[in-house]
Structure 1
Amino acid sequence: MILTIVEGFDRIEKKLDRMNRLKDCLDGDTLLDNCDLANLLGVTQRTLARYREKGLIRYYHMDKNGKNYYRSSEIQEFLKQRGKKKE
C-alpha cells in the first residue's frame, strides 16, 4: 500500500514538473513545449499543429527528443498579431 502511495506521488510530481516547466533560452527568453503552450492558449495540441503547418507560429524541433518548443516572446508577438483587427 505504501508503494502505491509513493508511486502516486511520483506521478503527481512529474505532472507538476511538466506544468511548471519553463526552460531558459537565449537572451533570458523561455521555452514552452506543446503541452505548456496548449494549456496557456486554451487550445488542443492538434490546433497547435495546424498553427505550425500554416506557419502562424514559429517553433523549434529538437531531434534529440522529438519535441517542439516555442519561445515565449514569439508567442507573445503571435498573440498581439492575432488580436489586431483588420481594417
Structure 2
Amino acid sequence: MLLFVNGPFGVGKTTTVNLLAQDLPEALVIDPEKVGHMLWSQLPEPLRAEEFELEPVWPVVTRCLLDQTARTYGRTILVPMTIARPQ
C-alpha cells in the first residue's frame, strides 16, 4: 500500500509521515524530495530546473522507486509529497 500525505509546502507532511512510521514499524518512508536532491547532485547546474519538482526526470525516477520498493519489500510505503501544484 502506498500512503501519500498531501499538502502545501511547509505544512508538516514529512513530520506527519515520520510520526505515522513510529506506529507502523514495518512501513518504509520514501521522500521524493530526497530523490530530487539526488538528481540535482548528478546534474550540472546549467541543466537543473528552477525546482526539482520541475525536473523532467524526477517524476519518472520517483515513480520507479516507489513501484520497485513496493514490489520488492511488500510493505506499506509512506510518501510525504505535494500532489497538486496549482499555478
- TM bin, normalised by shorter chain, reads under 0.3
What TM-score, normalized by structure 2, do the two folds share? 0.26
Larger radius of gyration: 1
What TM-score, normalized by structure 1, do the two folds share? 0.26
Higher relative contact order (CA 8 A, sep 6+): 2
